[in-house]
Amino acid sequence: MSSSSEKRILVLASGRGSNFGALAQAIADGTLKGCRITGLLCNKKDAPALAVAAHWKIPATVVESRGRLRTEYETQLLSEMKKHRPDLICLAGYMRLLGPEVITEFEGRMVNIHPSLLPKFAGLHPQRQALDAGAKESGCTVHWVTQEMDAGPIIDQERVPVLPGDTVESLSDRILEAEHRTYVRAVGKIISK
């Protein structure tokens, strides 16, 4: 049953949506209490994350980013984000850099998950970076979003071994399992404060 004291979580995703699904699942099975996901904002109209939203009966809105001026896109995105009156925004595979205006508006209320042990392997293709560096371990990080990419204060991390013969795919799959646990733990920490 929903109540007005529940924390309102808004999720932004661009792709598969498995982290979004992990959060929805944790709320549904009672692992995460005292919160609900009010909506999904997605910047791609064909993203599988939209089917995840439909499965969990979570309202989804597409704010298409492709082929639009950044300022126009971000103005619409900001307006859609505000409508949710979010206590917490979870970036879950949201593959666009957010502009300073959006980050300022929600600073201290927005978190991201990144598939490496930050500050190691920030930026694009962190699993590939870990393999190229010959790392013996990698993992994932949930952190607060600040103006500097992948550099905000860390909320939670989980380590994952890099195994002999790992490919980008096998390492990504192992890290993804850890991501789902870590995102749920991190959101639990935040909302219990």
One-letter amino acid at 91 equals L
What residues between 10 and 69 interact with ligand GRF by CB under 6 A? 13, 15-19
Coil, strand, or helix at residue 85? Answer: coil
What residues between 120 and 139 interact with ligand GRF by CB under 6 A? none
**Which H helix or E strand runs over 114?**
strand 110-114
Active site residue 114: yes
Closer residue to ligand GRF, CB minimum distance, 75 or 146: 146
Coil, strand, or helix at residue 135? Answer: coil
Q: Report the alpha-carbon distance of residue 53 to residue 39 in Å, rounded.
A: 8
Closer residue to ligand GRF, CB minimum distance, 15 or 152: 15
Closest approach, Cβ 157 to ligand GRF, in A, equals 12
User: Of these residues, 55, 84, 114, 125, which one is catalytic?
Assistant: 114
Quick check: 187 binds ligand GRF (CB under 6 A)? no
- Given 93, 152, 166, 174, the residue binding ligand GRF (CB under 6 A): 93
Closest approach, Cβ 51 to ligand GRF, in A, equals 12
Closer residue to ligand GRF, CB minimum distance, 156 or 179: 179
Q: Report the alpha-carbon distance of residue 139 to residue 193 in Å, rounded.
A: 25
Q: Report the alpha-carbon distance of residue 110 to residue 186 in Å, rounded.
A: 12
Q: Looking at the chain, list the stretches that DSSP marks H as alpha helix, in order from N- to C-terminal side.
A: 18-28, 49-55, 70-83, 100-106, 126-132, 168-191
Quick check: 141 binds ligand GRF (CB under 6 A)? no
Closer residue to ligand GRF, CB minimum distance, 92 or 160: 92
Quick check: 176 binds ligand GRF (CB under 6 A)? yes
Q: Report the alpha-carbon distance of residue 139 to residue 117 in Å, rounded.
A: 5
- Given 42, 179, 184, 186, the residue binding ligand GRF (CB under 6 A): 179
Angle between helix axes 168-191 and 18-28 (nearest 10 degrees) is 40
The residues that are catalytic are: 114
Residues that bind ligand GRF (CB under 6 A): 13, 15-19, 92-93, 113-115, 176, 179
